[in-house]
Amino acid sequence: MARLAADGDLLVLTLTRPERVASMHGDISLPLAAVREVAVEADALGAVHGLRSPGLGLPGRKLMGTWRRPGRRAFVIARRGMPAVRVELDGVKPDQLIVSLPDAAAVATRVRVAAERARADASARDELAVVIPSLGVRLAGTLELPAGAGPHPAVLLLPGSGEVDRDSNHRRFPLAITADLAHSLAGAGIASLRYDKRGVGGSGGEWLAAGLSDNADDAHAALEWLRSQPQVDAGSTFIAGHSEGALLVSALGERSALDGIAGVVLLSASAQRGEEMLAWQTAQIAAGLPRPVRMLLRVLRVDIRAKQRKNVAKLRATSTDVARIDGRRINARWHRELLEFDPRPGLAAIHAPVLALTGAKDLQVDPADLDVLAATVAGPVETARIPDLTHILRRDPGPPSIGAYKRLIRRPTDPEVLSRVTDWIARHSRRLGTV
């Protein structure tokens, strides 16, 4: 039978295998701070409204799956004759849970208490809208401060690649990695800065025209801005990057911009030259395609690896910031710079402590690069290859596949990743730790 419980800052609904099959859905994790109301429904089936999409059920006996109404989406595991916990949430999807449990009243009480504590913690944070100047471009960001008097240890958070905002969200692909990290850090008394990329959200500039070097310039400006703030302990300033953000950390290391940094966190970080990394990605993605798709590609004589090599050649032949490849406008300068970028010199220049985490099921960065990182970085390094973790910092117990991302982003960032990063930074902060 399903289990509904608070786990750290998350409300986690764990389903049995038959429930996952019947509901056509995986386990669900949602922020406890998003919980608005928790109640017990004596008639679980009667509390379900809307149209089922998707899911299965026996009318009058059992309902499992997603029910939709205009602007609303509920996830339901409802059984006749068994009470249910009903949870209403704000700002997330699904925004309602209805789960039949034999001990519904006790579970509802535990969830309600945990949610009240999480909301209190969230209200204790202070999120300040800030503007960061960077070589003629104004970057819009959020300085998140924990409760209590400063100056606080602080972390600059750098998101992955793509047209993403300060929270690591793309308009069609909301990852929220940097937002989840910021909230976890604030709960441990650590401030953070995150910002919209050029041409995204409230930031100036044009995203398509920005190169990898421009993004490194912006990261450098943001780091210096963070260190200068009176609420921040400049001697306990850290930098954390995910995917492209980790490459930018390497770029700053090569510029000697990380001198005096208290620590570095690298999430899903590559230690290969860009062209080698992209070729490795392509091979992994091709191998992970469903068998029918692989068969169709063979019939059509489509070689994904060869096509990728041709696109690399096309990119190298461009000279403009923006170019059209296969009918699509892309940030050509960014790609050209990525192809040539080697993170290893920058990694070798990092003398601060480093935490590097990569998922064992990462298809975009070779998990074996953790060994290269450990051998290359000048300072002390702690690495972890986390089982079932994917490049987007969600776990997937099934075969790794890029196609699973759309399903995985329904969950928040993996709780173990958040706790490992937060605990490591707290330990290495002169204000909070004892290192």
**What are the tens digits of pLDDT across the range 19-71?**
999 998 888 988 898 999 999 999 999 999 999 888 887 888 999 999 999 98
**Of the residues 105, 122, 139, the one at which a domain ends:** 122
Considering the domain boundaries, does residue 309 fall inside one?
Answer: yes
Q: Are residues 76 and 138 both part of a single domain?
A: no
Q: Are residues 176 and 190 both part of a single domain?
A: yes
Which pLDDT belongs to residue 350? 97
Residues 390/360, Cβ–Cβ less than 8 Å: no
Q: Are residues 22 and 100 both part of a single domain?
A: yes
CA angle at 95 for the pair 143 and 82, rounded to the nearest 5°: 135
Which pLDDT belongs to residue 375? 97
Is the bond preceding 54 in cis, omega lying within 30 degrees of 0? yes
Q: Are residues 243 and 386 both part of a single domain?
A: yes
Tokens 């039978």: give the residue.
Answer: 1
Considering the domain boundaries, does residue 434 fall inside one?
Answer: no
Q: Are residues 83 and 144 both part of a single domain?
A: no
Considering the domain boundaries, does residue 205 fall inside one?
Answer: yes
Helix, strand, coil in percent for the chain, rounding step 5: 35, 30, 35
Structural domain of residue 261, as residue ranges?
126-272+342-428
d(CA 418, CA 180): 8
d(CA 403, CA 284): 12
What is the distance in angstroms between the CA of the first residue and the CA of the last residue of the chain?
Answer: 45
Q: Are residues 148 and 81 both part of a single domain?
A: no
d(CA 45, CA 50): 12
Per-residue pLDDT of the chain (435 residues; tens, 9 = 90+): 899 999 877 899 999 999 999 998 888 988 898 999 999 999 999 999 999 888 887 888 999 999 999 989 999 999 999 999 999 999 888 999 999 999 999 999 999 999 998 888 777 778 999 999 999 899 999 999 998 888 999 999 999 999 999 999 998 889 999 999 999 999 899 999 999 999 999 999 999 999 999 999 999 999 999 999 999 999 999 999 999 999 999 999 999 999 999 999 999 999 999 999 999 998 887 776 666 666 665 666 666 777 778 888 888 999 999 999 888 899 999 999 999 999 999 999 999 999 999 999 999 999 999 999 999 999 999 999 999 999 999 999 988 888 888 888 878 899 999 999 999 999 999 765 544
d(CA 101, CA 371): 46
Q: Are residues 109 and 141 both part of a single domain?
A: no
Which residues on adjacent β-strands are paired with residue 131? 140
Which pLDDT belongs to residue 293? 64
Considering the domain boundaries, does residue 433 fall inside one?
Answer: no
Q: Are residues 35 and 99 both part of a single domain?
A: yes
Q: What radius of gyration do the chain's Cα atoms show?
A: 23
Considering the domain boundaries, does residue 369 fall inside one?
Answer: yes
Which residues on adjacent β-strands are paired with residue 232? 152
**Of the residues 98, 122, 146, the one at which a domain ends:** 122
- Number of Cβ within 10 Å of residue 119's Cβ equals 16
Q: Are residues 237 and 346 both part of a single domain?
A: yes
**CB hemisphere CA count around 366 (13 angstroms):** 16
Cα–Cα nearest to 157, from 131, 137, 185, 135 = 185
Tokens 């699973």: give the residue.
Answer: 404
The model's pTM? 0.80
State pLDDT tens for residues 387-433: 999 999 999 998 888 888 888 887 889 999 999 999 999 999 976 55
CATH number of the structural domain spanning residue 236: 3.40.50.1820
Helix (H) or strand (E) run with residue 88 in it: strand 84-89
Q: Is the dihedral of CA 248, 249, 255, 258 positive or negative?
A: positive
Q: Sort strands 152-158 and 232-242 into parallel, antiparallel or unpaired.
A: parallel
**Of the residues 83, 100, 122, the one at which a domain ends:** 122
